[in-house]
Amino acid sequence: MRTTKIICTLGPATESEAMLREMILAGTNVFRLNMSHGAHEWVRMIVPRIRQIANDLDMVVGILMDTQGPAIRTGDLPTKLNLKAGDVVEFTVRGAHSVEQYSVDVNYDGLIDDISVGDTVLVDNGVIHMEVLEKQDNRVRCRVLTPGVMGSRRHINLPGVKVNLPPLTEKDLADVALGATLGVDMFALSFCREPGDVDTLREILRGHGSNARIIAKIEDQLAVRNIEAIIDRADIIMVARGDLGVECAMEELPIIQRAIVKLCLRVGRPVIIATHMLESMINNPVPTRAEVTDIANAVYEQADAIMLSGETTVGKYPLECVRVLDKVARRIERSGGANYAKAAIVREDRQRTVHSAVVLANSLGNSKLLVFTRRGIMADYIAAQRPEHSPIFTFAPTMEICRKISLNWGTHPMVMPFEEDPNRNIASAEHILRKRGLIEPGDNLVIVAYLNVEGELFDSIQVRPVV
């Protein structure tokens, strides 16, 4: 059974009922709604559609809403600017007028205050490099370092510059309110820069009555500098290599990715590797060998999930992309992993219980881990230990909890109402697993459950052979 989870972004290529069904059957565990492009009417349509199809297939499928975030962008241009090295471009704010041949307005009024002479400005995902020459009133004059064509509404990156943008825009707040109303399972916080950004989103979600998980997207140098504090506050971390690869030196990106994965596994925080996994397959039916190796590295490092973006929104071969991820992940998982989780910190008593269960499962042949969780916490703990060969069958009383843990490494969540008698719960879980063909005689079930002793509940570990 595949342990690495697959996240697919939805768009025109994948929003139909037939394609959604095929994507789930091919191995999609979580669908991502990119609110940089998703209208509210579309969200209201697609969320119930996913829920219904998953219900019909009797499968657990999570939904992730990704906020657009406070992006800095150029304004509209009457014609594209063909820029050559040495050209001067002027960025204006607050309606300032420029007399330069090449100029464009910027949507962020604070640009003048945040930027300094000598800073680097990257336009259109880093295609065009510029250097700040001077600031005058509401204008910033820059010299073009690398040639390129600048169009309207192009993204601007300011590597190393601390910008004073809010963590959530008015659009983001409206999108989050909608997602909370529809019961979205996870929210991704774009351009998360410091732990307080996570706290802000969590407070907003609580105000909407949502306890959805928060994914902090690591996309700039400030986030990398604050990574340990962000990991501490967020529920999940995403290494968003698109903007991060622009903000940081390209040769540093693999090192940053590995360091973040190691940190996450050390403290038991789920981690996603995203962006450009199969970029060539937007137009081609097969991946490049480099893309296969990139996927293999993420799986070998034992990231919880790998994510597709443009490949499954507008690509020509979305289903084939999911199958490639599934095939490569399964093969690499059979070859072993980096075992970063061996350095995991085990602090709490319940973590120690889970750790003991995983050690026991690792020592037994044909072992399967069963965990019963009411809130998903024990499911998180056991996935964080990265069992060597045992699948994790997690039973929870509600579908909401199952969807929240749907991207946890190695975890196969199932809904099952709990009874007061723990033994009856275990018997019911074993019946479900037998019925689905997931266990067979000779297997050893390592069970993390609770015992009811004179009205008090205690965590327990049991081993039961399947006969």
Kindly give, in sequence order, each residue whose CB lies less than 8 Å from that of residue 378, ignoring residues fewer than 6 positions away: 350, 354, 371, 372, 448
3-state secondary structure 360-414: HHHHCCCEEEEEECCCCHHHHHHHHCCCCCCCEEEEECCHHHHHHCCCCCCEEEE
Q: How many CB atoms lie within 10 A of CB 289?
A: 8
For 255, counting Cβ atoms within 10 Å of its Cβ (0-12 exposed, 13-18 middle, 19+ buried), the class is: exposed
Contact between residue 172 and residue 35 where contact means Cβ atoms under 8 Å apart: yes
Strand order in the sheet with 456-465: 411-415, 392-396, 367-372, 444-453, 456-465
The residues assigned a catalytic role are 32, 73, 217, 275
Q: Where do we find the tokens 């943008």?
A: 165
Kindly give, in sequence order, each residue whose CB lies less than 8 Å from that of residue 67, ignoring residues fewer than 6 positions away: 35, 168, 172, 175, 176, 187, 188, 189, 190
Q: What number of CA atoms fall less than 13 Å from residue 356's CA on the CB side? A: 15
* Rounded-to-integer distance, Cα 236 and Cα 188, Å: 9
Lookup: tokens for 290? 């480099």
